[in-house]
């Protein structure tokens, strides 16, 4: 590159997609997407697992897989923007391995 214009006329994106994962620039949360044996999708953030509890045409509500005791969650738009989250867990992360993109609990 010999010349360039780095002046932007828009705000930076709120997330960056990298393969099957993305990083939210607002909260710097790296999400890794995996599949369970039953075909359902899980999100992994900082070693903790989340499942899609409910969704509508605009958003998906993801909850910690630990159960009702843990209040950790995140709200994701259909364009993969994390708009709300609580990553405060009251337990240790689960033990698991990922093999060929598949989640295996150990």
Q: Which two tokens stand for residue 34?
A: 């995996």
Tokens 């710097």 identify what position?
28
Q: How confident is the model at residue 3 (pLDDT cuts 50, 70, 90)?
A: low
- Asked if 64 contacts 50 with a C-beta cutoff of 8 angstroms, the reply is yes
- Asked if 87 contacts 74 with a C-beta cutoff of 8 angstroms, the reply is yes
pLDDT at residue 9 is higher than 60: yes
Per-residue pLDDT, averaged over 67-96, amounts to 90
pTM score of the predicted model: 0.72
- CATH fold of the domain at 15-105: N-terminal domain of TfIIb (2.20.25)
Q: What is the pLDDT of residue 58?
A: 94
Beta strand pairing call for 96-99 and 82-86: unpaired
């Amino acid at each position: 590159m010999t010349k360039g214009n780095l002046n932007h006329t828009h705000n930076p994106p709120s997330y960056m997609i990298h393969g099957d994962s993305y990083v939210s620039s607002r909260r710097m949360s790296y999400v890794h997407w995996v599949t369970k044996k039953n075909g359902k999708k899980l999100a992994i953030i900082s070693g903790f697992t989340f499942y899609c509890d409910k969704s509508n045409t605009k958003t998906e509500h993801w909850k910690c897989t630990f159960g009702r005791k843990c209040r950790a969650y995140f709200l994701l738009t259909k364009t993969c923007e994390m708009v709300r989250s609580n990553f405060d867990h009251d337990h240790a992360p689960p033990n698991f391995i990922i093999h060929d993109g598949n989640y295996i609990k150990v």
